[in-house]
Structure formats: structure tokens, C-alpha cells
């Protein structure tokens, strides 16, 4: 089906492949703009305009417009739909073969995408950053991204990455990365409280004191045992002789709270992330708090891809600023 004409006109003379002896279509193929030729080849290979646009990191509307103009330039239909499947017409197959042959003749190199390494605290990745990273990958299927989980001081000091997003106690970014970075930027202050699922606790029956917790199972993410600022919660868990579960997985700990009537320590923003969870204030007098910090590797900070990723993270935290207030 042509982008520019109704399907019923595909057999009409104006859609025939040009047969001008002085300028055969092979010569016209060689004259096609390189970007447009790539749009066509990737669309033909993917069999889907949306996936082709993702692979090329361009808007699908731009890709369709360029291919429509190519059809007008060559005066023929290049694509057709058979049901919901996109396929090439006879002329489209001929053009594909010619462009592939030209590419081999020119020995065009494959455009390598730079590898960007992101080191990030697992809880931040899951709760705050995950959705925007997925959106990034949906828009650009050619990106090369390595995500490294850092949930201990040892892991943070051992990691090598282009962008680092970590949690630290106190007002300074230490402990932080051991390699040279730009000036660390504080993105948010995260306060922590015990949480419970709303469906397992009526308002009038929710625990108001530490003694009330005796009737509830506690769940602890093992990473939190290393955080000195969580001492009030950690001491409570360690004193338990029964009714306590310790988890290696952050995501599984969340499921335990959601689905097993457990109480666990979570950041205050969790009530916005998951409306089914509710904080239990007033159980501890001493506040439990961490700071979220962002830094970029000094050696790779000039990279446009690294700066784009750091900008995405800043934008994500800025959009969710009310979560941390």
C-alpha cells in the first residue's frame, strides 16, 4: 500500500517502476539520500514502521513521511499490507536488493553505538527510574546500556561506570564512587518509615507503638542491615525471636508487604508509587533518612549519550519532586 495513494490504485500506470532507458531505476536507487535509504532498508527488515523508527531513534511520523516522499520520487508503491503484516511490493523488493548491493559496493561501516554504563541503587531503579528507562528503550532500540546494581558501600567503591546514582547517609555524598567524577549533585532527600498494605490493616487497627508490632510479621531487605541510619529499625528486627523474614531481593520484599500482611521499612514516597501501601508514622522517634546523589565519570562526561542519560535522571527526579517533600 502506498503512503500517498489509496490501495485500489496500486495497479495504475503511474505506479509502474520507471523504465526510462536514459535513467533506469538502478541509477535512481544510487541517487537516493543515504538516510532515506536506511529508513527504507530498516523498515523492510523489521516489517514494522514503529519498530523501524525505534531502531533508528526517529519519530515514526518522520519515517513515514520520508518513505512517502521516496514513493513519490520513484513513482511506485514500495510497501503493502497483507492483513496486519507489512511487506514489500515487487518494486520494493527490487529496490531493497539494489540498495543492499550498493551498500556492499560502498562497504558502508556499521554505526557502532557507544556503551553507556549506569550504576544505580536497586531501590531507586525499581521505584523511580525504571519507567523512564523503559520509555528510553522504547524510543531508541539501538542504544547500548549496561545497568549495574550498587547496594552496598563495597559495590559502590568497586564499580566502574559513566553515570552513578547512589544513596548515602548524612549531608555529604560519601561514601561514593572512588573514581574521578564531576561535582556530585543531590537529587532528593528520602525519609523512611515502616509500611503495610492497606488491605491487611484497617485504620483503627494499625499499630501505633512498637509494642503493637508484636502482632505483625516484619520483613527486612538484607541490604538495609548495612545502613547505620536505619539502626532503630534494624535493632527491632534483630530482637525478634519469631515473625521475621529477611530477603535478598528488594522486589520480593515489596511483594511480601503487598501480599503477606508484613510490615517493612520503605521510603516515604512508596505511598505515591503504590497506592496500596501506607506508612506507619510515630513508631520511631529517631528519623531514618538517606540522600540520593548523582555523579558523572570525569573521563566520559563529554559524551553526548552520557549527558543525555544524566539529564534523563535529573528530569525524572524533578518531575517527582513532590514525592520527596
Q: Please indicate, yes or no, if residue 315 is contained in any of the structural domains.
A: yes
- DSSP annotation of 151: -
CB atoms < 10 A from the CB of 5, how many? 16
Domain termination site, one of 106, 141, 156: 106
Interstrand relation of 115-120 and 163-168 (parallel, antiparallel or unpaired): parallel
Check: CB of residue 167 under 8 Å from CB of residue 127.
no
Alpha-carbon distance of 239 to 252, in angstroms, equals 23
Question: What integer is the mean pLDDT of 218-242?
Answer: 94
Question: What integer is the mean pLDDT of 113-138?
Answer: 91
- DSSP annotation of 18: P
Residues 283 and 304 in one domain: yes
Residues 64-94, buried b or exposed e (16+ Cβ, 10 A)? bebbeebbeebebbbbbeeeeebebbebbeb
**Chain centroid to CA 5:** 38
Q: Find the CATH number of the domain harbouring 58.
A: 1.10.10.10
Confidence class of residue 19 from pLDDT cuts 50, 70 and 90? very low
Task: Give percent of the chain with pLDDT exceeding 70.
Answer: 88
The model's pLDDT over 70-82, given as tens digits with 9 standing for 90+, comes to 888 888 888 888 7
Q: Find the CATH number of the domain harbouring 130.
A: 3.40.190.290
The model's pLDDT over 157-202, given as tens digits with 9 standing for 90+, comes to 888 999 999 999 988 998 889 999 999 999 999 999 999 998 877 7
Question: What integer is the mean pLDDT of 258-286?
Answer: 93
Find the Cα–Cα–Cα–Cα dihedral 162, 166, 172, 178, rounded to 10°: -40
Average pLDDT over the chain, rounded to whole? 85
Domain termination site, one of 52, 82, 106: 106
Question: What integer is the mean pLDDT of 100-109?
Answer: 64
CB atoms < 10 A from the CB of 249, how many? 13
Query: What is the pTM for the complete model shown?
Result: 0.70
pLDDT at 5: 37
Q: Is the dihedral of CA 138, 141, 144, 147 positive or negative?
A: positive
Amino acid at each position: 500500500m502506498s503512503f500517498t495513494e489509496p490501495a485500489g490504485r496500486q495497479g495504475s500506470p503511474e505506479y509502474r517502476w520507471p523504465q526510462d532507458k536514459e535513467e533506469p531505476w538502478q541509477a535512481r536507487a544510487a541517487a537516493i539520500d543515504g538516510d532515506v535509504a536506511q529508513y527504507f532498508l530498516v523498515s523492510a527488515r523489521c516489517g514494522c514502521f514503529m519498530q523501524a523508527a525505534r531502531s533508528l531513534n526517529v519519530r515514526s511520523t518522520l519515517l513515514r513521511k520520508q518513505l512517502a516522499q521516496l514513493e513519490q520520487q520513484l513513482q511506485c508503491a514500495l510497501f503493502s499490507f497483507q492483513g496486519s503484516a507489512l511487506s514489500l511490493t515487487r518494486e520494493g523488493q527490487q529496490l531493497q536488493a539494489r540498495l543492499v548491493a550498493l551498500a556492499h559496493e560502498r562497504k558502508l561501516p556499521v554505526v557502532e553505538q557507544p556503551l553507556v554504563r549506569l550504576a544505580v541503587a536497586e531501590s531507586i531503579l525499581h521505584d523511580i527510574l525504571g519507567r523512564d528507562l523503559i520509555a528510553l528503550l522504547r524510543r531508541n532500540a539501538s542504544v547500548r546500556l549496561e545497568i549495574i546494581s550498587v547496594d552496598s558501600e563495597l559495590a559502590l567503591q568497586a564499580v566502574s561506570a559513566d553515570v552513578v546514582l547512589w544513596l548515602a547517609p548524612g549531608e555529604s555524598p560519601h561514601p561514593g564512587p572512588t573514581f574521578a567524577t564531576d561535582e556530585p549533585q543531590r537529587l532528593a532527600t528520602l525519609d523512611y518509615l515502616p509500611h503495610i498494605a492497606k488491605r491487611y490493616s484497617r485504620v483503627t487497627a494499625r499499630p501505633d507503638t512498637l509494642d503493637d508490632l508484636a502482632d505483625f510479621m516484619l520483613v527486612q531487605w538484607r541490604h538495609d542491615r548495612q545502613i547505620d541510619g536505619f539502626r532503630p529499625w534494624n535493632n527491632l528486627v534483630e530482637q525478634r525471636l519469631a515473625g521475621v523474614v529477611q530477603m535478598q531481593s528488594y522486589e520480593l520484599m515489596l511483594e511480601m508487604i503487598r501480599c503477606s500482611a508484613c510490615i517493612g521499612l520503605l521510603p516515604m514516597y512508596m505511598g505515591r508509587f503504590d497506592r496500596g501501601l501506607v506508612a506507619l508514622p510515630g513508631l520511631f522517634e529517631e528519623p531514618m533518612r538517606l540522600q540520593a546523589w548523582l555523579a558523572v565519570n570525569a573521563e566520559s562526561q563529554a559524551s553526548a549519550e552520557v549527558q543525555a542519560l544524566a539529564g534523563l535522571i535529573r528530569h525524572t527526579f524533578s518531575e517527582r519532586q513532590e514525592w520527596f517533600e
